[in-house]
């Protein structure tokens, strides 16, 4: 079962079909243009971006960290990471994204 961040970050283009994107990802259906932003699988990094279609693979699905954001396209995913980073910095004065998101959860 995939873990989703309670206050999911959603890119502008993904917002139009956010519920559909999440539902299809949960069902294991392909989402060619959708990208997910997750907490990094290692402690040295904060976030990872990858195409949602990777979650069609059983190993990726089982090992996926909490999904904190969805976007349409890689560029939008990068913009969303920048937005998250800016929010964290404005609220905490640091860029410790992982800690902020885990505490907010």
Q: Please say if the pLDDT value at position 30 is more than 90.
A: no
* Interval 36-58: pLDDT, tens: 999 998 888 999 999 999 999 98
Name residue, tokens 């993904």. Answer: 14
Q: What pLDDT does residue 104 have?
A: 83
Token code pair at residue 4: 């989703």
* Residues whose CB falls within 8 Å of the CB of residue 73, separated by 6 or more in sequence, listed in order: 13, 33, 35
Q: What pLDDT does residue 90 have?
A: 97
What is the pTM for the complete model shown?
0.92
Tell me how far apart the alpha carbons of residues 93 and 72 are, in angstroms, rounded to a whole number: 29
Q: Per the structure, how many domains does the chain have?
A: 1
As a dihedral over the C-alpha atoms of residue 30, residue 83, residue 48, residue 89, rounded to 10 degrees, the angle is -160
* Interval 44-97: pLDDT, tens: 899 999 999 999 998 888 888 999 999 999 999 999 999 999 999 999 999 999
Contact 31, 40 (CB under 8 A): no
Range of the domain at 26: 4-104
């Amino acid at each position: 079962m995939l873990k989703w961040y309670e206050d999911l970050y959603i890119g502008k283009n993904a917002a139009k079909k956010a519920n559909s994107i999440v539902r299809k990802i949960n069902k294991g259906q392909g989402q060619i243009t959708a990208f997910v932003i997750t907490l990094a699988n290692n402690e040295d990094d904060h976030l990872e971006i990858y195409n949602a279609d990777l979650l069609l693979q059983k190993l990726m699905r089982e090992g996926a960290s909490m999904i904190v954001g969805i976007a349409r396209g890689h560029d939008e995913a990068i913009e969303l990471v920048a937005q998250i980073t800016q929010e964290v910095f404005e609220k905490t004065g640091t860029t410790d994204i992982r800690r902020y998101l885990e505490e907010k959860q």
